Chain A
Amino acid sequence: MEFDFSPVIEYFPTLVQGVGVTLLIGLAVAVMSIVGGQIVAVISLYTRRVVSWPLRFFIWLFMTTPLLLQLYFLYFGLGELILIPAIVVGILGLGFHYMAYNADIFVATIRSVSDGQYEASRSLGFGHIRTLIYIILPQAFYRALPQLSNNMIIMVKDISVLSAIGIGELVYVSQYAISVTFRPFEFYITIAVIYYLINLMMEAGQSWIERRAAYRR
Chain B
Amino acid sequence: MTTSTDTPMVELKGVKKHFGDLEVLKGIDLRVDRGRIISIIGPSGSGKSTLLRSINHLEVIDGGNILLDGMPVNRPDLKGLAFERHINHIRQNMGMVFQHFNLFPHMSTLDNVTLAPRRLKRMQSTDARKLGMELLERVGLADKAKAYPSSLSGGQKQRVAIARALAMQPKVMLFDEATSALDPELVEEVNRVMKGLAEEHMTMLIVTHEMAFARDVSDWTMFMDEGVVVEANTPDRLFSDPDHERTRHFLRKHLGSQG
Interface residues on chain A, size class: 20 to 34
Which residues of B from 48 to 75 have beta carbons under 8 Å from A? 56, 58
Within the complex, what minimum Cβ distance (angstroms) separates A183 from chain B? 52
Complex CA–CA separation, A119 to B176 (angstroms): 13
Contact B88 A134 (CB under 8 A): no
Contact B106 A138 (CB under 8 A): yes
Q: CB-CB < 8 A to A138: which residues of B?
A: 106
Within the complex, what minimum Cβ distance (angstroms) separates B81 from chain A? 9
Which residues of B from 63 to 94 have beta carbons under 8 Å from A? 84-85, 88-89, 91-92, 94
> Given A215-B150, A216-B148 in contact, is the A116-B102 Cβ separation under 8 Å?
yes
> Given A116-B102, A120-B98 in contact, is the A127-B150 Cβ separation under 8 Å?
no
Contact pick for A122, options B58, B85, B151, B164, CB 8 Å = B58
Q: CB-CB < 8 A to B104: which residues of A?
A: 117, 120-121, 135, 139
Judged by DSSP, the binding face of A is: helix
Task: Indicate with 1 or 0, residue by residue over A125-150, a CB within 8 angstroms of chain B CB atoms.
Answer: 11110100011001100100000000
Interface residues on chain B, size class: 20 to 34
User: Is A124 part of the binding interface, using a Cβ–Cβ cutoff of 8 Å?
Assistant: yes
Question: Which one, B23-31, B113-121, B200-208, is touching chain A?
Answer: B113-121
User: Is B196 part of the binding interface, using a Cβ–Cβ cutoff of 8 Å?
Assistant: no
* Chain B residues within CB distance 8 Å of chain A: 56, 58, 84-85, 88-89, 91-92, 94, 96, 98, 100, 102-107, 115-116, 119-120, 148, 150-151, 161, 164-165, 168
* Chain A residues within CB distance 8 Å of chain B: 114, 116-117, 119-128, 130, 134-135, 138-139, 142, 215-217
> 7 A-B residue contacts at CB 8 Å?
A116-B98, A119-B98, A120-B102, A124-B92, A124-B116, A124-B120, A127-B85
